[in-house]
């Protein structure tokens, strides 16, 4: 099950065809991190956008942040924060992907240095 980064869902909300085609073409229902839901809700500028976000996230399995994910995210921040600027949000998303053994789909490769072979699922 693929874990979608926030940028993929933002592209879907914006109606970007490449994002929609990517997600629709997946063999299994993708998942998101609870942190991704937080980012999306925080970015809503009005009630209409909030409704769109609420409707969108209902389509995906959501992984909560547990102790294992939280601790691994802390390790990622310690390891990659100073050299790559890895922030807590991206570290939590990366740790969720790692702990849940889910390939991460993102357009922001530089945010995830812990995944050396990471590739964009479509062109940005």
pLDDT in tens, 7-29: 999 999 999 999 999 999 999 99
Superfamily of domain 3-111: 5'-nuclease (3.40.50.1010)
Please, what's the b/e burial string for 50-72 (b: 16 or more CB within 10 A of its CB; e: otherwise)? eeebeebbeebeebebeeebeeb
pTM (predicted TM-score): 0.95
Residue 124 has pLDDT above 80, yes or no: no
All structural domains of the chain with their residue ranges: 3-111
Q: How far apart are the first and last CA of the chain?
A: 22
Whether 84 has a pLDDT exceeding 80, the answer reads yes
Percent share of the chain, pLDDT over 70? 100
CA distances from 114 to 51, 65, 110 (A): 34, 18, 10
Q: pLDDT, tens digit, for every residue of 86-114?
A: 999 999 999 999 999 999 999 999 999 99
């Amino acid at each position: 099950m693929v874990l979608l980064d926030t940028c993929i869902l933002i592209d879907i909300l914006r109606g970007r065809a490449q994002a929609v085609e990517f997600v629709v073409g997946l063999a299994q229902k993708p998942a998101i991190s609870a942190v991704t839901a937080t980012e999306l809700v925080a970015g809503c500028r009005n009630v209409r956008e909030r409704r769109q976000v609420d409707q969108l996230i209902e389509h995906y399995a959501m992984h909560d942040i547990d102790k294992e994910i939280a601790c691994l995210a802390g390790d990622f921040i310690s390891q990659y924060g100073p050299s790559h600027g890895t922030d807590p949000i991206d570290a939590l998303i990366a740790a969720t992907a790692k702990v849940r053994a889910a390939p991460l789909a993102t357009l922001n490769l530089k945010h995830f240095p812990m995944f050396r072979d990471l590739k964009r699922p479509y062109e940005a």
